[in-house]
Amino acid sequence: MPRDLPEAPALLRDIFGFDAFRPGQGEIVEAVADGQNTLAIMPTGGGKSLCFQLPALMRPGVTVVISPLIALMRDQVRGLREAGVAAGALTSANTEDETNAVWDQLRDGSLKLLYLAPERLASTGTQRMLAQAGVSLIAVDEAHCVSQWGHDFRPDYLRIGELRRALDVPLAAFTATADQETRDEIVTRLFDGVPPKSFLRGFDRPNIHLAFAPKDGPRAQILRFAAARKGRSGIVYCGTRAKTETLAQALREDGHPAVAYHGGMEPDQRRAVEDRFATEDGLIVVATVAFGMGVDKPDIRWVAHADLPKSIEAYYQEIGRAGRDGAPAETLTLFGADDIRLRRAQIDEGLAPSDRRAADHGRLNALLGLAEALGCRRRVLLGYFGETAEPCGNCDLCDSPPETFDGTDAVRKALSAALRTGESFGAGHLIDILTGNATDKVRQRGHDGLPTFGVGQELKRGEWQAVFRQIMGRDLMRPDPERHGALVMTEAALPVLRGEEQVELRRDAMDRARDRRPAVK
Ligand code: ADP
Ligand code: ZN
C-alpha cells in the first residue's frame, strides 16, 4: 500500500479480518479510495466486493452500490453490519421497517454503504434523495449488465451514467467479463466514453519464478539461495522478530549487505531501512511481514520465505513484491511440520469467531496444498484465485516434475494408528507405534499390543515424518491445540480410511527423508 493510505491495512484486518490483499486488490483499492474513475476486471471469486467496500470506509459520506442481485446485496449488507459497518439496502425485498431505517440513516448522514437495486434508479424520489445524501462514490457490481449484447443485459443499468453525471462523483465499475467489446461498452455507457483507470491485468505475474522446499537445515538453505543471487536486492521473510536479527547477521557474515526489519524497531530505524532499501543496490532486508506496506521498489530480484506464510493470500502478496519491473525474479518458500503446527495454533488461539477461524484454516490449507503440489504451481495458485492456466514453465515443478507414488497404504496405516489410540497423540508417538519402536511411553500405554504396532516397518522414521507432513498438508489430520497437538482426523480423511479415495504422495519428499538420522523428538 502507498504511504498516503495508512488506514487501508488496518481496516482490512480489523473490519474484514484479512491479513493481506489478494492479487490486484491493493492497487484497485488505492485508485478507488483516491476518487479516480475505475474499471476493474477480476475473475469470479477474486474478491471484488472488498475493492469498493474498503474505499467506501475511507471516503467521506455514503457510497452507492448498484448490484443486479438482491440476494447478493442482502448478503453483503448482513456481512458488513456484522462487522460493525453502517450499511443498508433499498430493494423490492425490503420490509417497510428496513426501508425506513435506511432512510433515517441516510438523513442523519451515518450510512456508509447504500446498496441499490438498479430499478430504483427509475424513480425520481430516489434521485432526489441521492442528490441530498452526500454520495461520494458510485460502485457498480456486474458492470457488464450495461452491455446490450451480453446475455445479462439490464435496461436499468443504462441509467447509471445519468446518475454519475447528476451527482458528479467518481464511479468504480467491476466485472468478471473481460472481452474487449463489453469493456468498450462499459466505458461508453458508464463513463461517457472517457477511459477510466483500468485494471484489466489478470492475476498472473509470469516473470516470478515460484519454488517451495521442505525445511532441511533452513538457515543453510536461505544462505545458499542468497549466495546464488549475490549483489541483487532481495527480501527474506521470517516468522519471528528474533530470527530476522540472527539471519541478517548470518547473511552479513557471508558477505552480503543485509539488515533486519521488524515491528519492534523504532519508527525512525524502520524508515532508515526502507530508505536504504529504496536507494541502495543489492541490499537484503530480513524482515517480518511488517516490511512491505510502504515498499514500492520495482527491481526487487528475489523474495525468500524462511518460514511458511500464514495464508495463500499472504504468500502471493509477499512474493508479489519481487519483479514489479517485469524482469525475471525468483522466490523460494520453505516449509516444515513445525510451521504447519505453529500456523494452526495461531489460528486456533486467536480470538476470531469460529467461522472466521475455519476460513483461516482453509486459506492455510490452500497454501499447504500449493507447497505439496504435484503439478505446475502457478496453475494451482491461479486456480485458487479463479483463473485457469496452462503449465507455466517458470516454477520448480515445471522445471522438474515430482515423481509420485500411490501412498494410500501408508496414509491409511497412519490414520488408523491415530484412531486406535483415541486421536490423543502427536506424530512422534504414532511413528513409534508404526515402526514398532517400544519406547517407555509406548509400553506404559500398552500400545505395543495394538494391531498397528510395527505395521509400518517398511518406512524409516524420516519417511514417516514426510508422510505425516503430507497428511497435514492435505488436512487429513490436524493437531488439536487444546491437547498438546494430538492429531485428530478431519472429514477429508474418511473416504481414505474407507478405501474410497487414493492418496498420491511425492516420492522426493520420501527420498530426502530416507537417509537422514531420525529427528530428535
Ligand atoms: P467476487 O470477486 O466473486 O465478487 P467476493 O468479493 O465475493 O468475490 O470474494 C470472494 C471471496 O474471497 C470471499 O469469500 C471473500 O471473503 C474472500 N476474500 C476477498 N478478499 C480477500 C482477502 N484479501 N483475503 C482473503 N480472502 C478474501
Ligand atoms: Zn509451472
Q: Which of 461, 434, 428 is nearest to 448 (CA)?
A: 434
Instruction: Point out the least confidently predicted range of 117-131, 231-245, 504-518.
Output: 504-518
**C-beta 53 within 6 A of ligand 1:** no
Neighbouring residues of the ion ligand 2, judged by CB less than 5 Å: 376, 378, 392, 395, 398
Question: Which residue bears the cell 477461524?
Answer: 357
* More confidently predicted of 154 and 519: 154
* CA of 283 relative to ligand 2 center, distance in Å: 28
Residue 87: strand pairing partners: 113
**C-beta 67 within 6 A of ligand 1:** no
* CA of 380 relative to ligand 2 center, distance in Å: 9
Q: Which of 222, 243, 175, 208 is nearest to 38 (CA)?
A: 175
Task: Classify 414 as helix, strand or coil.
Answer: helix
Q: If you average pLDDT over residues 368-383, what whole number do you get?
A: 87
pLDDT by residue (tens digit) across 233-283? Answer: 999 999 999 999 999 999 999 999 999 999 999 999 999 999 999 999 999
* CA of 45 relative to ligand 1 center, distance in Å: 6
Q: How far is residue 140's CA from residue 65's CA, in Å, rounded to a whole number?
A: 6
**C-beta 27 within 6 A of ligand 1:** no
**C-beta 288 within 6 A of ligand 1:** no
pLDDT over 80 (residue 294): no
**C-beta 45 within 6 A of ligand 1:** yes
Q: How far is residue 346's CA from residue 334's CA, in Å, rounded to a whole number?
A: 18
**pLDDT grade for 230, boundaries at 50, 70 and 90:** very high
* CA of 44 relative to ligand 1 center, distance in Å: 9
Interface predicted TM-score (ipTM) of this complex, two decimals = 0.97
Cell of residue 250, nine digits: 548470518
Q: Which of 424, 435, 407 is nearest to 510 (CA)?
A: 407
Runs of H (alpha helix) within 228-302: 241-253, 267-279
* CA of 42 relative to ligand 1 center, distance in Å: 11
**C-beta 48 within 6 A of ligand 1:** yes
Query: Best of 18, 41, 357 to mutate for ligand 1, by most ligand atoms within 8 A of CB?
Result: 18
pLDDT by residue (tens digit) across 395-416? Answer: 999 999 888 899 999 999 999 9
Instruction: Give the closest ligand to the alpha carbon of residue 49.
Output: 1
Residues 6+ apart with CB under 8 A from 85: 15, 53, 57, 112, 113
pLDDT by residue (tens digit) across 327-373? Answer: 999 999 999 888 988 898 888 888 777 777 877 887 888 898 899 88
Task: Classify 336 as helix, strand or coil.
Answer: coil
**C-beta 22 within 6 A of ligand 1:** yes
* CA of 415 relative to ligand 2 center, distance in Å: 32
Cell of residue 336, nine digits: 516444515
**C-beta 46 within 6 A of ligand 1:** yes
* CA of 418 relative to ligand 1 center, distance in Å: 35
Ligand 1 atom closest to the Cα of residue 43 is 2
Cell of residue 222, nine digits: 536461505
Quickly list DSSP for 73-105.
Answer: HHHHHHHHHHTT--EEEE-TT--HHHHHHHHHH
Number of alpha helices (DSSP H) and beta strands (DSSP E) in the chain:
22, 18
**C-beta 50 within 6 A of ligand 1:** yes
Which amino acid, residue 36? Q
Task: Classify 22 as helix, strand or coil.
Answer: coil
Ligand 1 atom closest to the Cα of residue 313 is 24
Task: Compute the C-alpha angle 385/401/504, nearest 5°.
Answer: 75
Query: Best of 25, 49, 75, 175 to mutate for ligand 1, by most ligand atoms within 8 A of CB?
Result: 49
What does each C-alpha distance from 150 to 181, 251, 386 come to in angstroms? 10, 57, 21
Ligand 1 atom closest to the Cα of residue 51 is 6
Residue 477: strand pairing partners: 489
